[in-house]
Amino acid sequence: MRKMRYLALMSYDGTNYHGYQIQPDQRTIQQEVEAVLKRMHKGQTIKIVASGRTDAGVHALGQAFHFDSDLDIPEIRWVRALNAQLPEDIVVLSVIGVSGDFHARFDVAEKWYDYHIYNSAIADPFKRHYSAHVSHPLNIGAMQKACEYLVGTHDFTAFCATNSNVTDSKVRTIYQATCKKTADNMIVFSVSGNGFLYNMVRIIVGTLIDIGYGRKSPTVIKEALVTLDRNTLGKTAPAKGLYLKKVVYNKN
């Protein structure tokens, strides 16, 4: 039977996983999904290709991946079959057929990330795996001002982990970046762009926290986009507050 290519959307709690990508002797999201697909295909290895990797502890509200299969299963039954065998902290939201040349990574047009900062004098044990806790009151106005400098096409070398193996251009385009505080003391940093470097969002957030404290000026963001100096920015924020929110693909 002819193989079909499918695009799947999934949500997961990354707390108990060593990231998305398969690693020796570690529990990962990719490993769990491929294990279920292998059982469904009677021992045949089925590889999935995601829109990108997420690190240990990072969550996803809308991670996308593609896979090829020769099973004759309606799209809605794919969802039921996968969720029936996946652990409770991984949920497939949808599966649709796509063209054979579609690629979940290379065809990405835009990604959205959220980062949650619980800004309260007292920590909440029920938020400890899903947000970074900052007890000192943060200046949202200063943080939002800094966000404005991120928007546009820039060289984000300063916002990339120093141990990154990216050797090509570090120029990326940010379409939107905002900081908002909710009624329950959660500060949500939301950002969308055509691509992100390794640890880029977490370095931005670590810097925004320093700006919110008053340790750094909002213009440190603007300056780092010129000097490309990682040392002028804040620490890398913890992985647990980061969510891959949405992946957008070109319509064609």
CATH topology of domain 4-98: Alpha-Beta Plaits (3.30.70)
Asked if the domains at 4-98 and 108-249 fall in one CATH topology, the answer is: yes
The whole-number pLDDT of residue 165 equals: 65
pTM of the model: 0.95
H helix intervals, 188-243: 200-213, 219-227
Domain 108-249 sits in CATH 3.40.50.1820: no
Cβ neighbours of 156 (radius 10 Å): 24
Output the tens digit of pLDDT for each of the chain's 252 residues.
689 999 999 999 999 999 999 999 999 999 999 999 999 999 999 999 999 999 999 999 999 999 999 998 999 899 999 999 999 999 999 999 999 999 999 999 999 999 999 999 999 999 999 999 999 999 999 999 999 999 999 999 999 988 766 668 999 999 999 999 999 999 999 999 999 999 999 999 999 999 999 999 999 999 999 999 999 999 999 999 999 999 999 865
Residue ranges of domains in the chain:
4-98, 108-249
The whole-number pLDDT of residue 166 equals: 66
- Residue 101 annotated as catalytic: no
Is position 113 annotated in a ligand binding site? Answer: yes
The residue annotated as part of the active site, out of 13, 55, 114, 124, is 55
Q: How far is CA 228 from CA 62, 84, 166, 233, in A?
A: 31, 47, 15, 10
The whole-number pLDDT of residue 167 equals: 67
Structure tokens at 175: 């379409």
CA geometry: angle 66, 68, 69, nearest 5 deg: 135
